[in-house]
Structure formats: structure tokens, C-alpha cells
């Protein structure tokens, strides 16, 4: 077990030695600290000098990464071994962004070619609806990984968007989500993408049925379905059953996890919103990060470094949450995306051998763009009792004074967190010594966005390796799904008084028979 490893014990001892060391002093003692603890790669700068680390900490963290066989697990993942043991699946989202000469999986490039043809046909107006009008609105219906990734990237790449095509996302089973999207759409010019790896997800299937009904009510012809619906799925059979024309189904392998799927045909809305070339560039950026992750030594490996700093704060300084703070408004949805990536991957408490573990795993991920968050929850990060490591993420483009002010705000926040402030008045005292990482991208272009997302994917993977958990399954989500089905099917037998009480209240006050 991890907690029995000598490398783990060495870190525990070292943690005690670090107890009273302040980052302020570490910076004062070493003018080169930024150079020592920062790394540049393909235009990305990652500064991790504002962590409570010394050269010794760093070396001990790398020793732990070695002891946990990070390199061999990484190689097994890239080689397509079935490292997702509980689902008996390989984990090959990295193959989706590699050049064809490297993957040997023909279907990836055939699908990419089809995605290009399809998105081009929407852009040039040759893709028509049932009544012969060109498609103007695309509504992606999906949830979780079949929604968050493409939604976040479309938002991030909004400046690249074709202004003649509206791309919308519907995920929630609450019918108001769909109603809001439909109220702004014209059935004759709207195309639905039903995105679901399993093609059985309750929310997605319910929303797909609403969309189908809307098209039939308005266009009054069953043949319209073939023109207004396409599917993105690993389950071709179910998509065909729904009535989707087999020529309109874009498949991907079961070796692509839902939260890792934006690189697959799940990324079709990105191709439609920003154009296929920009989607390709997103894949290329991710591929460059994959290459770095595969080739760089552990101590110069960005995902490994971020992962190990997370282990340091989570397991040795009891940081129970982690803030994602993008200083670029187009990255507004990044915290939500990373929430699923990290929390669904590493929210586990059973190791790969099925044993209960005795150490902490994934933190709570939260965040929102700066400077908004500064006026909401940063107070707790500065002066609260909890340690909350922060990732400050910014892009350098933007000429105006307001852009400069934005960046100045970000730098000031990380400085204040590190430095703190002494004062005669206790309420004005900031302890400081609070850890943060700063990631700077030259520009929020598809390439660097791809690098950033792959950086986080691999970070999460490495942390899962250290914690000896399977980062690629999500069995915890299943129980809620099963109980919903039970409630709807009325065949629960042992309802507790709270559940019964709530259901009774709903029945009495709305007349709605949930059961
Ligand atoms: O929430 C659980 C989950 O299985 C996610 O992992 C997944 O991204 C989401 O549901 C949607 O699944 P599907 O793409 O199969 O509809």
C-alpha cells in the first residue's frame, strides 16, 4: 500500500521539517527560485515556485513518482493495454490526437475525414434540412463527458466561431433546458447531434425524444428525422434504433472514456463551431503535450510535476479542495470541465486490488474566472482556515489597458497568497504561505488550449497512479442512476422515511406522481 512505502514516509518526515518554513523566506534566500521551479514548453509557462517546496521536497516527490511506477503505467496506457481493469478496457484517448502513422487505428482517421466533410457541409450551406433550407443552428444533446468538453471548448474558441451558425448545448433533464434552446431555433434549419457514448443515458434519451417530437410536430414528416438528427456514439445499434440514418452516425471506440472524449467525434460541435482546421489544431496541441508526457524525464515533465505538487498539498498539507482560476473569460467553463475530469476520475477510495485505502484521494475542484471570483470566494482562500491550492491560468494576448489590469490582478493574487501581510490589527493579517501554480499561454488558440487540456488529463492520470486507483471508471455514479429507475418504476421495497417523506410532499403539493 502507498502509505507503507519508504518514499511516502520520507515525505511525511520532510513535511514536519517544512512546518515553519515560509515561502517568503525561500524567495528571499534564493533569487533564482522562479528559474528553478518553473518550466516552459512550446509556448506554455508553468510557474510552481509559489509552493511550499524546496529542492529536497521536489526530489522526494519525484522519488515517490518513480516508486509508484508512473513511467511504466504511462507506457502501458499509450500501448493500449487494458489498464481500466474494472471495465476491461484500454485507455486510448491519446490515439485520437496522434498522427495516423503512430496509432495504427484506421477508424480514427476515417471518422476525422467524415467530421471534416460534415462540418464543411454545414459551413458552406450544402447541408440542408428536410424543407431544403440550409442548417443554421446545431443543438448538441448530451451530458457529462458528452457535453462538458465540447461545450467548454466551443466557449473557449468563441472568437473562432462561424457567426452564421449557432451551436447550442442541452444537457439537463429539466425540460426548461431544451425549451430554452428550442425557443431560439427554427425547426427547418436546426440539426440535432445526439451525443452519448452508451446511447442509453436517461437525460440524453429524454431530451432526444423531445427534439424528435418537436421536429415531427413542426415538419410533419417521419422522413425529416434523417435530415435533422445525427448521432455520436459507441453504440451504433441503439442509435440506429432511435431512427438515425446509419450514414449519420459518428462512432468512437469504447477505449475513449466519456470525460476524455472531446477529441473523438464528440468534438463534432467544435468542428461545426470553429471549423475543422481549428479542431485539428486542438488535437495537435494535445498531441504535443502527449509527446512531452511520454518523453520528458519525470523531473522535467509538466503533468508529473503538477500531479506531484497536488499529492504534496492534498496528502501532506491536508488541502481538501483545489481552485481553478482562469483569467480569461472565454475559459469560464474550464472549472466545470475539470471538475468532471478530476472528480469523476479520482473520487475513489478502493485501490486497484479492491482494497480500501487509508490515505486521501481527489480533492474537490471548484473555481470561476478571475476577476469575478476575487469578489466572491477568494477571501476564504486568503484568510480562511483551509489550505486551497490555486491554479491561475492566463493568456497573454490582448492589447488594452483592461487586459493589463486583468493580468495585474492575477499576479497580485498569487503574490498576496504567497507573501501574506503582517499588521498590528489581527483582522488585517494574512498568514500567506498559500500555494499556487501559474500557467501562462501565449494565446487562447486551439493549439495551446489542446496542450492545456492534455496537461490536466495527464496530471489526473498520474495522481490516480500514485493513489493506486483506477482513474477511468465511475461506478459511484451508477447507484443514483439505479435508484432513479427504481423510483420511477415504483418497485422500491425499502424506502427510508426521508425519501418517502419527500416523495409524499411532491405528490401532495403538485399532484405529480413521481411514483
Ligand atoms: O455521469 C456518468 C457518465 O457515465 C459520465 O461518465 C459520462 O460522461 C456521462 O455519464 C454521459 O454518458 P453517455 O455519453 O454514455 O451518455
The grid coordinates listed for 377 are 470566494
The grid coordinates listed for 373 are 471570483
The pLDDT assigned to 486 comes to 80
The pLDDT assigned to 512 comes to 67
The pLDDT assigned to 507 comes to 83
The pLDDT assigned to 161 comes to 94
Residue 3's CB is within 10 A of a number of other CB atoms, namely: 11
The pLDDT assigned to 198 comes to 94
Q: How far is the CA of 145 from the centre of ligand 1 (A)?
A: 6
The list of the chain residues with pLDDT below 50 reads 491
Report which protein residue has its CA nearest ligand 1's atom 5: 144
The pLDDT assigned to 100 comes to 82
The grid coordinates listed for 355 are 482494497
- 319 touches 387 (CB < 8 A): yes
- 4 carries an active-site annotation: no
- 457 carries an active-site annotation: no
The pLDDT assigned to 422 comes to 85
The pLDDT assigned to 492 comes to 56
Report which protein residue has its CA nearest ligand 1's atom 8: 145
What is the CB < 6 Å shell around ligand 1?
Answer: 143-146, 196-198, 201, 204, 258-259, 344, 474, 477
Q: How far is the CA of 2 from the centre of ligand 1 (A)?
A: 30
Give the C-alpha distances (Å, rounded to integers) separating 107 from 42, 100, 256, 418: 29, 10, 13, 49
pTM, rounded to two decimals: 0.96
Beta strands in 314-435 (DSSP E): 321-327, 364-366, 390-395
Atom of ligand 1 nearest to the CA of 203: 16
Hey, which of 233, 258, 484 would you mutate to test ligand 1's pocket, going by the most ligand atoms within 8 Å of its Cβ? 258
All residues at 6 or more sequence positions from 176 whose CB lies less than 8 Å from its CB, including other chains: none
The pLDDT assigned to 37 comes to 98
- 71 carries an active-site annotation: no
- Give dist(CA 192, CA 215) in Å, integer: 10
Hey, which of 91, 93, 142, 143 would you mutate to test ligand 1's pocket, going by the most ligand atoms within 8 Å of its Cβ? 143
The pLDDT assigned to 237 comes to 94
Amino acid at each position: 500500500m502507498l502509505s507503507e512505502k519508504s518514499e511516502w514516509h520520507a515525505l511525511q518526515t520532510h513535511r514536519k521539517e517544512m512546518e515553519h518554513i515560509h515561502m517568503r523566506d525561500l524567495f528571499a534566500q534564493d533569487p533564482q527560485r522562479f528559474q528553478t521551479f518553473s518550466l516552459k514548453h512550446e509556448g506554455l509557462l508553468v510557474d510552481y515556485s509559489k509552493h511550499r517546496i524546496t529542492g529536497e521536497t521536489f526530489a522526494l516527490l519525484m522519488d515517490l513518482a518513480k516508486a509508484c511506477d508512473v513511467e511504466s503505467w504511462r507506457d502501458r496506457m499509450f500501448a493500449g493495454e487494458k489498464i481500466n481493469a474494472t471495465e476491461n478496457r484500454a485507455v486510448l484517448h491519446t490515439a485520437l490526437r496522434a498522427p495516423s502513422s503512430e496509432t495504427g487505428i484506421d477508424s480514427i482517421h476515417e471518422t476525422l475525414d467524415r467530421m471534416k466533410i460534415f462540418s464543411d457541409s454545414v459551413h458552406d450551406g450544402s447541408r440542408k434540412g428536410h424543407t431544403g433550407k440550409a442548417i443554421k443552428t446545431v443543438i448538441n444533446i448530451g451530458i457529462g463527458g458528452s457535453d462538458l468538453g465540447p461545450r467548454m471548448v466551443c466557449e473557449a474558441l468563441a472568437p473562432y466561431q462561424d457567426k452564421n451558425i449557432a451551436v447550442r448545448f442541452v444537457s439537463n433533464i429539466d425540460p426548461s433546458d431544451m425549451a430554452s434552446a428550442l425557443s431560439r431555433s427554427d425547426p427547418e434549419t436546426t440539426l440535432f447531434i445526439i451525443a452519448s457514448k452508451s446511447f442509453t443515458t436517461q437525460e440524453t434519451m429524454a431530451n432526444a425524444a423531445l427534439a424528435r417530437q418537436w421536429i415531427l410536430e413542426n415538419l410533419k414528416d417521419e422522413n425529416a428525422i434523417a435530415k435533422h438528427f445525427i448521432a455520436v456514439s459507441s453504440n451504433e445499434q441503439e442509435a440506429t434504433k432511435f431512427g438515425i440514418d446509419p450514414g449519420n452516425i459518428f462512432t468512437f471506440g469504447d477505449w475513449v472514456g466519456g470525460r476524455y472524449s472531446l477529441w473523438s467525434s464528440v468534438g463534432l460541435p467544435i468542428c461545426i463551431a470553429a471549423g475543422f482546421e481549428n479542431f485539428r489544431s486542438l488535437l495537435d496541441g494535445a498531441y504535443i503535450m502527449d509527446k512531452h508526457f511520454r518523453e520528458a524525464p519525470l523531473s522535467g515533465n509538466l503533468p508529473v510535476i503538477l500531479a506531484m505538487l497536488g499529492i504534496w498539498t492534498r496528502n501532506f498539507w491536508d488541502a481538501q479542495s483545489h481552485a481553478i482560476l482562469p483569467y480569461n473569460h472565454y475559459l469560464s467553463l474550464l472549472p466545470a470541465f475539470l471538475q468532471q475530469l478530476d472528480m469523476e476520475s479520482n473520487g475513489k477510495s478502493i485501490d486497484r486490488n479492491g482494497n480500501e485505502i487509508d490515505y486521501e484521494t481527489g480533492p474537490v475542484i471548484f473555481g470561476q474566472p478571475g476577476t469575478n471570483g476575487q469578489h466572491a470566494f477568494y477571501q476564504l482562500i486568503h484568510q480562511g482556515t483551509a489550505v486551497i491550492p490555486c491554479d491561475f491560468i492566463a493568456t497573454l494576448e490582448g492589447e488594452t489597458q483592461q487586459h493589463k489590469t486583468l493580468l495585474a490582478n492575477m499576479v497580485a493574487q498569487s503574490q498576496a497568497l504567497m507573501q501574506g501581510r503582517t499588521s498590528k490589527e489581527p483582522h488585517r493579517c494574512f498568514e500567506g504561505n498559500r500555494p499556487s501554480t501559474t500557467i501562462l499561454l501565449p494565446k487562447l488558440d486551439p493549439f495551446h488550449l489542446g496542450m492545456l487540456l492534455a496537461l490536466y488529463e495527464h496530471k489526473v492520470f498520474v495522481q490516480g497512479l500514485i493513489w493506486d486507483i483506477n482513474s477511468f471508471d465511475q461506478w459511484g455514479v451508477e447507484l443514483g442512476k439505479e435508484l432513479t429507475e427504481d423510483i420511477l418504476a415504483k418497485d422500491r421495497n425499502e424506502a427510508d422515511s426521508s425519501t418517502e417523506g419527500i416523495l409524499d410532499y411532491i405528490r401532495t403539493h403538485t399532484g405529480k406522481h413521481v411514483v
